[in-house]
Amino acid sequence: MLADIRLVAAKDLRIEWRSRVTLSQVLPFALLVLVLFGFALDANRAVLDAATSGLYWITVLFVGLMSVQRATAIETTDGARRALLLAGIEPAAVFLGKALAVMVQLLFVELVLVGGVIVLFDASVESLPLLVSTCVVATVGIAASGTLLGALVAGVRARETVLPILLLPVLAPVLIGATRAFDDALGTVAVDGWAWLGLLAGFGAINTVLGALAYGVLLEET
Amino acid sequence: MQEINHTGSRTTRLLGAAVILGLVVLFFLGWFVAPEDDEQQDAVRMIFVHVPSAIFTYVAFMTTAIGSAMWLLRRSVWWDTLAAAAAEVGVLFCGLTLFTGAIWGRPTWNTYWDWGDVRLVTTLILFLMMIGYLSVRSLGGPETATATRAAIVGVLAAGIMPIVNRSVEWWENNTLHQKSSLTDGNLEDMTLFTLVVGLVVWGLFFWWAVLHRFRIAWLERELRSTDLDRALEERRAEGEPEGEKV
Amino acid sequence: MSIIRLHAAVALIGRFPALAGVDLEVGEGEVVLVQGPNGAGKSTLLRLCAGLMRLEAGEGTVLGRDLATERPAIRRSVGLLGHDTALYADLTVRENLDFWAKASRVDPAAVEPAMARLGVAERLHDVSVGLLSAGQRRRVALAAVVVRRPRLWLLDEPHAGLDPSGRDLVDQLVGDAAAAGATVLLSSHEVDRTLDLATRRITVAGGIITGDVSDAR
């Protein structure tokens, strides 16, 4: 099982590395969004300070959406999904492997975005452990729910428009929680970030378990 | 095959009549008999529509969640149909809840929408998730695939809701929302009575709507299976005249 | 024993009944040619036997396993060559086959010989599949089947898109598989050449079997 997870994750990451989509398309898009936010908020320091966490996580959500769509597309071209079924890998392993790959790519982008936020919005990191932990835990939730819902709409026409409708409301608690935790980590608002981390962990756990259970049914039936 | 061109029955007619009667009674009670609130005056009368809608939104949501689970576990077509019917009615009720909430809010607290209101925001997120559920249901493809897809969304939504609620709650500790008046005991007798009447009427309405929607879905399903038999015949006929074609 | 047994099998694609009541029995070691016009249901039949499709009505077993309840087990034991290649365009030939081998619990050492057998030139081993020609990709897809050494081979138009040497190769593979005791179902428009290999010819039209001829070999 673990070997299969590693196998699938490695495969996805290798494909990503070959095609360089994250590097050449997603990353610039993410940074561009940050810049656009800067323009929209009119270089008003006070406003930018207060909004930094929120803007960061909205950007991450959009990037997450793109990553997940890409991960799902890998399997739908050329009947690759069929091959996974025929190979006989445990569907839960496929799920965890793909989610892991999405997570790695997202974390990479998040790292760069932290840099972007420090540079563009003059943010200062007060608690690095909290910052890093938030990124990791929140990303687990995003990757898990995204991979599940991505597979859910796979193989249906008009997939692109349905996925955001499904995924974004589900990710609302992540947006709320991660933003608050970042507020604490960046020192912009006095809240207890670690408490929010617990909530994010709960979200991640539920989605991972549900995804692992439901992925098999999805691969079989749809 | 028996020609069925309506989904009415004695039950639904009784229910329908009761609902109409109940609405009239409710209107009368709500507008004329129940007393004004000291602070909110007439605006408080919204409570007789808003609270029941909210309660039955959640009843609908739970029905969908349970129905989804039953489909995934038992492949029960009945439960799947119920889940779908409840979801549609639920979205309606949810919209009504949010709408009446906004109308109530304006004169009372001078705002249509308050982000700090835990229940309101949670209900909004629920609304969005149920719309997602309905979008998935409307995707094409084999029936079992659609049912499975939707069921997973239903179960996911149910699993997420507690976290959603908790996160919104922590987010803003203060809330404009009425403290739970039902359990307060501070309500005037007449107001309480009218509220209970409202609950009953809305419950009957819910039952009536779900019943009709369920039957429509059920009939559609039967129609599709007779379609299938016909399609099978046509398909087989494709092969006949040619015989052994090489 | 029966490798495939289908009774009144109905399979849908969306709402369309691609297979409208198939009765079929295939014994071990048979090489069966599946013929029929486009849209007759040949591909669907192969995919059904591979355990990739749901049985809407009727019953069936493949390799002794029930099509209604044991599809995962069926899938692990068959080799399917479909219309699409089921390969990842961004990975090289070697990477694709390695992944496939490991995922199928097959010794990765079998990959090299398979590539050689299928005539995939050495220089192509580390080329991305997306850059190959359609015929070359087909060979790689066939290699993926060979690597598995399945008991049941399901080949959907294996000759299509291959050059003459490729088509000869397919015939050799089928012959070798049969000699090793495997069962082969293949659909082809190239009737003449396959007739030599096949022990039996079935015709599919309108989603059902309309002809079944066994040639004594």
Query: In this predicted model, which residue has the larger pLDDT, A75 or B95?
Result: B95
Q: What is the pLDDT of residues B7-44, one digit of tens each?
A: 777 877 888 888 888 888 887 777 776 666 655 566 66
Cα B100 off chain centre by: 16
Sort B192 into a burial class: Cβ within 10 Å, 0-12 / 13-18 / 19+. Answer: middle
User: pLDDT-derived band of residue B136, with 50, 70 and 90 as boundaries?
Assistant: very high
Q: Is B104 left (phi over 0), alpha (psi -120 to 50) or beta?
A: alpha
Element (H, E) at C8: strand C2-13
What are residue C184's DSSP bridge partners? C31, C153
Q: Is B115 on the interface with A (CB under 8 A)?
A: no
Q: What is the pLDDT of residue C119?
A: 86
Q: What is the pLDDT of residue B245?
A: 41
Q: What is the pLDDT of residue B36?
A: 64
> C-alpha distances in angstroms, A125 versus A128, A186, B18, B86, C74?
6, 5, 63, 48, 55
Q: What is the pLDDT of residue B94?
A: 95
Tokens of C77: 């034991």
How far apart are alpha carbons B125 and C86 in whole angstroms? 39
Which B residues, 26 through 55, put their C-beta within 8 Å of a C-beta on chain C? none
Do B29 and B196 meet the contact criterion of CB atoms below 8 Å apart?
A: no
Geometric angle at alpha carbon B144, from B141 and B146, rounded to 5°: 50
Query: Which residue, among A103, A110, A105, A101, has the nearest Cα to A31 in the 3D structure?
Result: A110
Name the 3-class secondary structure at A57.
helix
Name the 3-class secondary structure at B1.
coil
Query: In this predicted model, which residue has the larger pLDDT, A71 or B7?
Result: A71
Neighbouring subunits of C (3+ Cβ pairs under 8 A): A, B
Sort C107 into a burial class: Cβ within 10 Å, 0-12 / 13-18 / 19+. Answer: exposed
Q: CA-based Rg of chain B, rounded to a whole angstrom?
A: 23
Q: Is B24 on the interface with A (CB under 8 A)?
A: no
Query: In this predicted model, which residue has the larger pLDDT, B5 or C116?
Result: C116
* Cα distance between the two ends of chain B: 40
B159-190 burial: b if 16+ Cβ within 10 Å, else e: bbbebbbbbbebbeeebeebeeeeeeeebeee
Tell me whether strands C31-35 and C183-187 are parallel, antiparallel or unpaired: parallel
Q: What is the pLDDT of residues B158-200, one digit of tens each?
A: 999 988 888 888 876 644 455 444 444 556 677 788 888 889 9
Neighbouring subunits of A (3+ Cβ pairs under 8 A): B, C
* Percentage of chain A lying above the pLDDT 90 cut: 54
Query: Which residue, among C52, C78, C53, has the nearest Cα to C63 in the 3D structure?
Result: C78
Q: What is the pLDDT of residue A43?
A: 66
Cβ contact, residue pair A177, B167, below 8 Å: yes
Tokens of B44: 């408080």
CATH topology of domain C2-214: Rossmann fold (3.40.50)
Q: What is the pLDDT of residue A47?
A: 80
Could you write out the DSSP letters of every residue in B26-80? HHHIIIIISPPBTTTBGGGGGHHHHHHHHHHHHHHHHHHHHHHHHHHHH--HHHH
Q: What is the pLDDT of residue C186?
A: 92
Q: What is the pLDDT of residue B184?
A: 47
SS (H, E, C) A110-168: HHHHHHHHHHHHCCCCCCHHHHHHHHHHHHHHHHHHHHHHHHHHCCCCCHHHHHHHHHH
B chain contacts of residue A206, beta-carbon cutoff 8 Å: 159-160, 163
C chain contacts of residue A73, beta-carbon cutoff 8 Å: none
Q: Is B73 on the interface with A (CB under 8 A)?
A: no
How far apart are alpha carbons B202 and B54 in whole angstroms? 10
Do C5 and C67 meet the contact criterion of CB atoms below 8 Å apart?
A: no
How far apart are alpha carbons C45 and C61 in whole angstroms? 13
pLDDT at C217 over 60: no
Task: State mean pLDDT over C166-176.
Answer: 90
* Chain A CA closest to residue C78: A86
For chain B, what are the domain ranges? 48-175+188-221
Q: Is A172 on the interface with B (CB under 8 A)?
A: yes
Q: Is the dihedral of CA B117, B44, B101, B205 positive or negative?
A: positive
In this structure, what DSSP letter does residue A191 have? -
pLDDT at C61 over 50: yes
Neighbours of A217 (CB within 10 A): 15
Q: What is the pLDDT of residue B186?
A: 58
Amino acid residing at A59: T
Element (H, E) at C75: helix C71-77
Query: In this predicted model, which residue has the larger pLDDT, B73 or A125?
Result: B73
pLDDT at B110 over 60: yes
pLDDT at B96 over 70: yes
Cα C179 off chain centre by: 17
How far apart are alpha carbons C176 and C185 in whole angstroms? 14
Cα B167 off chain centre by: 24
C chain contacts of residue A72, beta-carbon cutoff 8 Å: none
Sort B156 into a burial class: Cβ within 10 Å, 0-12 / 13-18 / 19+. Answer: buried
How far apart are alpha carbons B132 and A115 in whole angstroms? 35
Rounded to a whole number, what is the distance in Å from the CA of A87 to chain C's nearest CA? Answer: 5
Strand order across the beta sheet in which C57-62 lies: C16-27, C2-13, C57-62, C65-66
Calculate the average pLDDT of chain B: 81
Query: In this predicted model, which residue has the larger pLDDT, B134 or C189?
Result: B134
User: pLDDT-derived band of residue C85, with 50, 70 and 90 as boundaries?
Assistant: confident
Q: What is the pLDDT of residue A194?
A: 85
Do C57 and A87 meet the contact criterion of CB atoms below 8 Å apart?
A: no
Q: What is the pLDDT of residues A109-160, one digit of tens each?
A: 999 999 998 888 888 888 888 899 999 999 999 999 999 999 998 877 766 6
Q: What is the pLDDT of residue B242?
A: 47
pLDDT at B244 over 60: no
Q: What is the pLDDT of residue B10?
A: 80
Task: State mean pLDDT over A208-218.
Answer: 93
Nearest to A166 among B136, B148, B168 (CB): B136
Q: What is the pLDDT of residue A201?
A: 94
Could you write out the DSSP letters of every residue in C158-210? TTTT--HHHHHHHHHHHHHHHHTT-EEEEE-S-HHHHHHH-SEEEEEETTEEE
Q: What is the pLDDT of residue B246?
A: 40
Cβ contact, residue pair A86, C71, below 8 Å: no
Q: What is the pLDDT of residue B87?
A: 96
Cβ contact, residue pair A166, B132, below 8 Å: yes
Q: What is the pLDDT of residue A61?
A: 95
Q: What is the pLDDT of residues A146-203, one digit of tens each?
A: 999 999 988 777 666 889 999 999 999 999 999 989 988 888 777 788 888 999 999 9
CB neighbour list of residue A141: distance below 8 Å, 6 or more residues apart: A171, A174, A200, A203, A204, A207
Could you write out the DSSP letters of every residue in A7-41? HHHHHHHHHHHHH-HIIIIIHHHHHHHHHHHHHHT
A chain contacts of residue B164, beta-carbon cutoff 8 Å: 172-173
pLDDT at C11 over 60: yes
